[in-house]
Amino acid sequence: MARPKVYITREIPRAGIDLLRQAADVEVNTEDRPVTREELFERIADCQGVIGLLTERIDAAFFDAAPGLKGYANYAVGFDNIDVPEATRRKLPVSNTPDVLTNATAECAWALLLAVARRVVESDAVMRSGDWPGWGPMQFIGGDVSGKTLGIVGAGRIGTAMARMSRGFDMPVLYTSSSGRRNAVLDAELNARLVPFEELLEQSDFISLHTPLTPSTRHLFGAEAFRRMKRTAYLVNTARGPVIDEQALLAALRAGEIAGAGLDVYEHEPALTPGLAELTNVVLLPHIGSGTASARTDMSVLAARNLLAMLEGKKPETCLNP
């Protein structure tokens, strides 16, 4: 029997590619840029399986372009790039990569939280400039972290990990839940409180976003949310950029309505809202939440295992279809 053909839209760690190559003919886009829609459709025309990224839109046109497709594996936990109902209507399985990147992403949120509160990037820039005049009692005074209130928006896997990592800082934890369900781990281990969104905005000193991007979370953080936040509060986003209205964030940062923001994701990736990069009270990362060697390797293996199952007509381990 002919081996199935698989296309991977960008180079990913070898482990997953090697696993797939045991059973399939695999082509990888080795250019260091996302494939264009035209290139993608040309490449997948005779493929049975595809591994893609959050930069690809997996929609009706994608499925039409690959009539022999048996399944699609997302190399990401977030799946707002996939039209899951459309895949389900076509009886096509689609999968994501949860769990394996949970700690890496929570650690990245902590890196942003500490960096923006303690002005790490600004301070680093002064050292590199050669202009540091020596220790000064009024230099680079930042915000306290220990004992401050941490607000988690979206207490799923990554939000829970972020909150658990706060134990060393003795932070009271508040969280919201779109389902209204309590998080048993956070309640038991951290005595955390499930609160209405408005209360979280008003009480938190740090707010960390871990909610998926859905129609109801798009622009959840807009002008009204920033007005409600403490002027001394910081916002951290390692989830999805469009959860924040970036123009409103820019205005809030400029007006001093909030103290600062640490961002790993952007509303219009890869573009930055003009003006954001000029502010000193923001720390900006290039969407590297899952960027540790083990998380990215484990993502490649999980995506490969998912796709191999789909090629055999089986349900993938982390299937997104209901």
51 binds ligand DGY (CB under 6 A): no
Q: Which stretch binds ligand DGY (CB under 6 A): 37-45, 73-81, 166-174, 244-252?
A: 73-81
289 binds ligand DGY (CB under 6 A): yes
Q: Is 269 a residue of the active site?
A: yes
Tokens 């990592």 belong to residue: 165
Q: Is 268 a residue of the active site?
A: no
Tokens at 183, concatenated: 């998080």
Q: Which stretch binds ligand DGY (CB under 6 A): 23-31, 71-79, 137-145, 172-180?
A: 71-79
CB of 185 to ligand DGY, least distance (A): 21
CB of 98 to ligand DGY, least distance (A): 9
81 binds ligand DGY (CB under 6 A): no
Among 77, 174, 207, 308, the residue binding ligand DGY under the rule CB under 6 A is 77
43-77 in b/e form (b: 16+ CB < 10 A) is bbeebbbbbbbbebebeeebbebbeebbbbbbbbb
Contacts of residue 255, defined as CB under 8 A and 6 or more positions apart, other chains included, come to none
CB of 11 to ligand DGY, least distance (A): 15
The residue (of 4 and 241) whose beta carbon lies closer to ligand DGY is: 241
User: Could you give the C-alpha distances from 195 to 109, 232, 262, in angstroms and in order?
Assistant: 21, 20, 23
Catalytic residue among 240, 246, 257, 305: 240
Residue with smallest beta-carbon separation from ligand DGY: 78
Footprint of ligand DGY on 89-118 (CB under 6 A): 101
CB of 302 to ligand DGY, least distance (A): 11
Among 76, 112, 259, 283, the residue binding ligand DGY under the rule CB under 6 A is 76
Transcribe 147-182 into DSSP letters: TPPEEEES-SHHHHHHHHGGGGGT--EEEE-TT---
Sign of CA dihedral 221, 224, 228, 233: positive
290 binds ligand DGY (CB under 6 A): yes
* CB-based contact 159:153 (threshold 8 Å): yes
Q: Site size for ligand DGY, by CB under 6 A? A: 7
Stretch 222-261: interaction string toward ligand DGY, x if CB under 6 A:
----------------------------------------
How far apart are the C-alpha atoms of 272 and 276, rounded to whole Å?
7
Ranges of beta strands (E only) in the chain are 5-8, 25-28, 49-52, 71-74, 94-95, 150-153, 173-176, 193-194, 206-209, 234-237, 260-263, 282-284
| Dihedral angle of Cα 159, 160, 166, 172, to the nearest 10 degrees | 90
Stretch 138-167: interaction string toward ligand DGY, x if CB under 6 A:
------------------------------
Q: Is 219 a residue of the active site?
A: no
Q: Report, as residue numbers or ranges, the catalytic residues.
A: 240, 269, 287
